[in-house]
A and B are shown apart, each in its own frame.
Chain A
Amino acid sequence: MSTHIGVDFTPPDIAGKVTGEIKYAEDYKREGMVFARLLTSPLPAGRVVNIDASEALRMDGVVGVFTADDLPPVPPPGNPALASEYVTYVGQPILAVAAITEEIAESAIDKIRVDFERRDFVVDPIESLTPGGSNAYPEGNVLVRTREEGPEGAPIVGAEIKDIKWPQSAIDAIKTGKEPVGGEFTTEWAFGDVDAGFADAAAIIEEPFVTIGYPHHSLEARTGMAYWENGKCYFHGSSQSQSANNAGLARMLNIDLADLVFINEATGGGFGSKIGPYPFMAITGNFSKVLNRPVQLRITREQEFYIGSARSGMQGWIKIGVKENGKVSAVDLVIVNDGGATGGGSGNSSAQHVTVAYQPESMRYRGISVYTNTTPRGAQRGPGQNEMAAVLAPMTDKVARAIDMDRVAFRRTNVLDSDGFQGGSQGPVTSAFVREALDQGMRTFGWQDKIAQPKDMGNNKVRGVGVGIGYHGAGGRGYDGLLRIGTDGRLYIHSGVGNLGTYSYAGTCRAAAEALQVPWDKCDILHGRSDRHLPHSSGQGGSNTIFTHTRTNWVAAQDAITKLKEIAATDLGGSADDYEIGDERVFLSSNPSQGITYAQAAQRAIELGGKYSGQEYPDDINPLTQLAVQGIAGSGLVGVAKDNIPGQGQPPGVLVGFMEIEMDKDTGKYEILDYTAIADCGTVVHPTNFNNAMRGGAVWGVGLAGLERHVYDPQNGLPANTGLYQSKPPTNMDVPIDTQMGAVNIPDPQNPTGGRGIGEPTQGASAAALASAISDALDGHTFNTAPTTTDMIINHLAGNTYSTKSLKTNTF
């Protein structure tokens, strides 16, 4: 009987969130602190020719200016903290000014003259692929992997920017929704016999599609505050992760790992944009070093739009063949990603979603990611998978209808199971129970009843009922766990997991408490700053944390249990195998009265030293964990281990969503009447927070499918919606406020606690279910866009094809 896993608890930081006492990076001040502000590029492309800051530097209160020359050069297409030779998007940071107040720093920015040399720019990837089209970089528009023969036959793998243009016929084809025959790609894979698959098909559909990227808009604009003391840098940073920042940030600051104290008690959202150290951090830390003063660099909401990362958009074409029995026999998929100025596309992940949703007998994927002079792109909640889920769902409905099959039954026939595969390499998964999720969801939602209801709801309103699947890989292996039993008998769990709002830093610690059978009120979590001796941990992205770090805490606890038994055997006789644990004691199995408490064992561990109290540790743990163990050595019984739990395959996080909407045919607006989602994420570790993650992801899905998008002016390269209001993340008026969430709750066999992650597919399932419902409301019309905005719907209803005639990303 589990006492911690699957049982609710109150995360220790939540009280600080409701009182306002918890500290985010910009809440910290330091004696002598100065404020830095950014000057950013007004141009989409060019280079800095000259900077004249003389007037600014003469201002009272200005203490310094920091430019690209203060940092190591970053060759293109890297994302430099400060740009100089390669200015590649509007809003790109050029320099920072520090002053004794923010107002003075702002005023100083206005006094600086920057001379730019303009370059050609492009905001549409298809335009860049067109013969004679502009490139985002002088060298070209696409990053191409290179492989050369090195010394003794060892390959040298690299990458370079190349200028790739498609023949006009391929451009014309993709613009009109056809296969772009003759187009060059940088990623291609295939499995099975695709031609035979289409030959076997009873029905084939062929569809173009486009998804538009959009910013993360984390509510806390990224802020840093740094200062140096005795050669150490103390860095308050806004990050989804904790320990995953240390190595990269130390490199940015050119210091040893031991000389960085990274502090990150709480983060105001990240959603993929703050997984690890981001370039902006280099300004804060190094500027502070130059000035020899604490520096706080807080950016504006508009600057967060520019440098805060964004989802990649994509334009593509897909052909799906299905057999009479409902099995997908062949898929042919083409994706052109918009990589923005410095990021990459997620086309391969989009293709991976298709493999999970369909488990096709054969499939071919061709992809290319093209740079544009728009904001840098990076991971955003289910990158690739979720936007693919949104456009694939109505197509899936269409192909199911083509063979007269129920839409849920079609998904049930094709979707991933435990013996299935994911991705082009057809890699295995740890387990999957999506069919069970579909069955549970159908019952909870009342699918059969809802699809039997009349479509016409009166007053020119129509009903739409949809279903969708979201997927993301949800777990990693090989990280470290670290804990300590103190002489007070308490369990101190050192967590390098970041506090991004999912409470997974705490939820994963429950695995250690479970294994050691310690009541939760006798556990303390040490997290939030690296001088609390935190182990190497994964970045809190990719929905991995629950799987990854319940395992690390579990293996650290197993190490502690082994040591408890060995200490007991040393003092009380017999062998370690003769002992067991319970009630915070280690005792002789044959005579439970003979034993010692955890507190006594901790005291003995200190006396025995060596591995028992952390003076010695395993060879295979990460250098950061080694530093952490050294920091707590001699203070109790130390459990430390790398996750070497055997197993293979990717732990999948999969979600199915069911949605009912009421669409007003006069306005194109819709209300979400019902949303039900069922997760296949193994054992639910923290039920209340599971519900929160599910509902939060559902809100994100509404934004992806219906509201959020980049809009760039193709004539001047200017973004049209830098603020929250224009960008339109969902408010509580846009989403249902009474949803039903559930889980299959079948344990994953490769995690001792049974859990897998679920953060990202929550969005994909919601987006897919909404897109499916919109299509259903309109008698199966497929917009093939994400988002499908109200104006697109009303244009369709009015018989106007303006919105969907020429699909393209980033623009109207």
Chain B
Amino acid sequence: MNSKLTRRRFIKGVIFSGAAATTGTGVYLVASAQAGQAAAERLITLNINGRDRPVDVLPSETLAHTLRYKLDLTGTKIGCNRGECGACTVLINGVPNYACSVLTHNVKGKSVVSIEGVKSMDGTLHSIQQAFVDVNAPQCGFCTPGQIMSAVALLNNNPRPSREETRQALSGNLCRCGAYEHYINGVMRASGQIA
């Protein structure tokens, strides 16, 4: 292919390239292994939701990426990927963190809890989750996993927080739908302060 192309000739090249690429490539994981950057990945073991999970991780890979794309834990959402919205909040050693702003290699040896690890093994919802259902807290739901992780961390440390304390604890979780008051009501319900 020429280094300088007209757009039309360029497209023909693209189509040819695409067709060639489809030949011989298989499932996503096989394809990943063929990537030039795969050599830079290192196999590490992470403790996610109480289980040890071996996973190949790039040096620059964020925890949000590892959870979503390597471990298929898609409940952790990426809203901004730059530490502004809190949709990717997980607990690291019990402390809420933005998973988009944490390198996966840095959580080796630490306990990570994502939204998938909040409900009981038997499927019973955590009191926060149940309260959020009861008060109809989520709207679109995209920020909800992050709101729940922050709320779980709050109640673990302060079982009967005030509304103002709850507001502060959830202030790092943006809700574009504006369901803030309902999330706070959910925390009040989970902590037994409202029916």
Determine whether B15 belongs to the interface, using a CB cutoff of 8 Å to chain A: yes
**Could you tell me if B140 and A266 are in contact, using CB atoms closer than 8 angstroms?**
yes
Determine whether B160 belongs to the interface, using a CB cutoff of 8 Å to chain A: no
Q: Complex formed: what's the CA distance from A733 to B22 in Å?
A: 50
Determine whether B58 belongs to the interface, using a CB cutoff of 8 Å to chain A: yes
Taking the closest CB of chain A, its distance from the CB of B56, in whole angstroms, is 12
Q: Complex formed: what's the CA distance from A11 to B132 in Å?
A: 12
Q: Complex formed: what's the CA distance from A22 to B25 in Å?
A: 30
Interface of A is mostly: loop
- Given the known interface contacts A20-B145, A301-B79, A301-B82, the answer about A735 and B163 at a Cβ–Cβ threshold of 8 Å is no
Taking the closest CB of chain A, its distance from the CB of B60, in whole angstroms, is 9
Determine whether A409 belongs to the interface, using a CB cutoff of 8 Å to chain B: no
Determine whether A140 belongs to the interface, using a CB cutoff of 8 Å to chain B: no
**Of the residues B68, B114, B168, B176, contact of A269 by C-beta under 8 Å:** B176
Whose C-beta in chain B lies nearest to the C-beta of A17? Answer: B141
List A contacts of B17 (CB < 8 A). Answer: 57, 62-65
Question: Which B residues, 142 to 161, have Cβ-Cβ distances below 8 Å to chain A?
Answer: 142-145, 148
List A contacts of B176 (CB < 8 A). Answer: 217-219, 269, 271, 729
List B contacts of A531 (CB < 8 A). Answer: none
**Could you tell me if B180 and A737 are in contact, using CB atoms closer than 8 angstroms?**
yes
Whose C-beta in chain A lies nearest to the C-beta of B133? Answer: A14
Taking the closest CB of chain A, its distance from the CB of B96, in whole angstroms, is 15
**Could you tell me if B140 and A501 are in contact, using CB atoms closer than 8 angstroms?**
yes
- Given the known interface contacts A20-B76, A57-B13, A292-B19, the answer about A101 and B37 at a Cβ–Cβ threshold of 8 Å is yes
**Could you tell me if A27 and B139 are in contact, using CB atoms closer than 8 angstroms?**
no
Determine whether B87 belongs to the interface, using a CB cutoff of 8 Å to chain A: yes
Q: Complex formed: what's the CA distance from A798 to B135 in Å?
A: 45
Q: Complex formed: what's the CA distance from A103 to B35 in Å?
A: 10
Task: Count chain A CB atoms within 10 A of each CB in B25, B125, B136 and give the residue with the most.
Answer: B136
Determine whether B74 belongs to the interface, using a CB cutoff of 8 Å to chain A: yes
Interface size on A, residues (CB 8 A): 92
**Could you tell me if B77 and A696 are in contact, using CB atoms closer than 8 angstroms?**
no
List B contacts of A733 (CB < 8 A). Answer: 167-168, 171
Taking the closest CB of chain B, its distance from the CB of A84, in whole angstroms, is 7
Whose C-beta in chain A lies nearest to the C-beta of B15? Answer: A290
**Of the residues B31, B81, B175, contact of A100 by C-beta under 8 Å:** B31
Q: Complex formed: what's the CA distance from A267 to B171 in Å?
A: 23
**Could you tell me if B22 and A292 are in contact, using CB atoms closer than 8 angstroms?**
yes
Q: Complex formed: what's the CA distance from A148 to B179 in Å?
A: 50
**Could you tell me if B142 and A220 are in contact, using CB atoms closer than 8 angstroms?**
yes
**Of the residues A20, A290, A700, contact of B75 by C-beta under 8 Å:** A20
- Contact-size category for B: 35 or more
Task: Count chain B CB atoms within 10 A of each CB in A11, A48, A696, A735 and give the residue with the most.
Answer: A696
Determine whether A300 belongs to the interface, using a CB cutoff of 8 Å to chain B: yes
Whose C-beta in chain B lies nearest to the C-beta of A21? Answer: B75
Q: Complex formed: what's the CA distance from A723 to B85 in Å?
A: 10
Chain-B contact segment, one of A29-37, A255-263, A619-627: A29-37
Taking the closest CB of chain B, its distance from the CB of A130, in whole angstroms, is 36
List A contacts of B137 (CB < 8 A). Answer: 18, 692
Mask, A245-286, CB within 8 Å of B = 1, is 000000000000000000000111111000000000000000
**Could you tell me if B116 and A19 are in contact, using CB atoms closer than 8 angstroms?**
yes
List B contacts of A84 (CB < 8 A). Answer: 7
- Given the known interface contacts A18-B125, A21-B75, A739-B181, the answer about A104 and B174 at a Cβ–Cβ threshold of 8 Å is no
**Of the residues A27, A267, A737, contact of B184 by C-beta under 8 Å:** A737
Determine whether A51 belongs to the interface, using a CB cutoff of 8 Å to chain B: yes
**Of the residues B5, B36, B69, contact of A104 by C-beta under 8 Å:** B36
Determine whether B105 belongs to the interface, using a CB cutoff of 8 Å to chain A: no
**Of the residues A8, A63, A221, A696, contact of B139 by C-beta under 8 Å:** A696
List B contacts of A691 (CB < 8 A). Answer: 182
List B contacts of A13 (CB < 8 A). Answer: 141
List A contacts of B5 (CB < 8 A). Answer: 50-54
Taking the closest CB of chain B, its distance from the CB of A152, in whole angstroms, is 41
Interface of B is mostly: loop
- Given the known interface contacts A18-B144, A219-B176, the answer about A737 and B129 at a Cβ–Cβ threshold of 8 Å is no
**Could you tell me if B1 and A54 are in contact, using CB atoms closer than 8 angstroms?**
yes
Determine whether B106 belongs to the interface, using a CB cutoff of 8 Å to chain A: no
**Could you tell me if B25 and A100 are in contact, using CB atoms closer than 8 angstroms?**
yes
Mask, A599-636, CB within 8 Å of B = 1, is 00000000000000000000000000000000000000
Whose C-beta in chain B lies nearest to the C-beta of A99? Answer: B35
Question: Which B residues, 86 to 140, have Cβ-Cβ distances below 8 Å to chain A?
Answer: 87, 114-116, 118-119, 125, 129, 132-133, 135-140
List A contacts of B22 (CB < 8 A). Answer: 32, 63, 291-293
**Of the residues A14, A51, A57, contact of B136 by C-beta under 8 Å:** A14
**Could you tell me if A688 and B136 are in contact, using CB atoms closer than 8 angstroms?**
yes
**Could you tell me if A31 and B163 are in contact, using CB atoms closer than 8 angstroms?**
no
Determine whether A69 belongs to the interface, using a CB cutoff of 8 Å to chain B: yes
**Could you tell me if B182 and A692 are in contact, using CB atoms closer than 8 angstroms?**
yes
Q: Complex formed: what's the CA distance from A671 to B18 in Å?
A: 57
Taking the closest CB of chain B, its distance from the CB of A7, in whole angstroms, is 13
**Of the residues A17, A48, A100, A301, contact of B138 by C-beta under 8 Å:** A17
Task: Count chain B CB atoms within 10 A of each CB in A18, A50, A266, A501 and give the residue with the most.
Answer: A18
Q: Complex formed: what's the CA distance from A14 to B139 in Å?
A: 9
**Of the residues B7, B13, B68, B163, contact of A738 by C-beta under 8 Å:** B163
Question: Which positions in A face B, CB cutoff 8 Å?
Answer: 8, 10-11, 13-24, 27, 29-34, 48, 50-54, 57, 59-70, 84, 98, 100-104, 217-221, 266-271, 290-293, 300-301, 500-503, 688-689, 691-692, 695-700, 723-725, 729-733, 735-739
Question: Which positions in B face A, CB cutoff 8 Å?
Answer: 1-8, 10-11, 13-15, 17-19, 21-22, 25-28, 31-32, 34-37, 58, 68-69, 72-77, 79-82, 84-85, 87, 114-116, 118-119, 125, 129, 132-133, 135-145, 148, 163, 167-168, 170-171, 173-184
Excluding A60-B36, A64-B17, A724-B80, 5 further A-B contacts by CB distance (< 8 Å) are: A20-B116, A32-B22, A100-B35, A689-B136, A695-B181
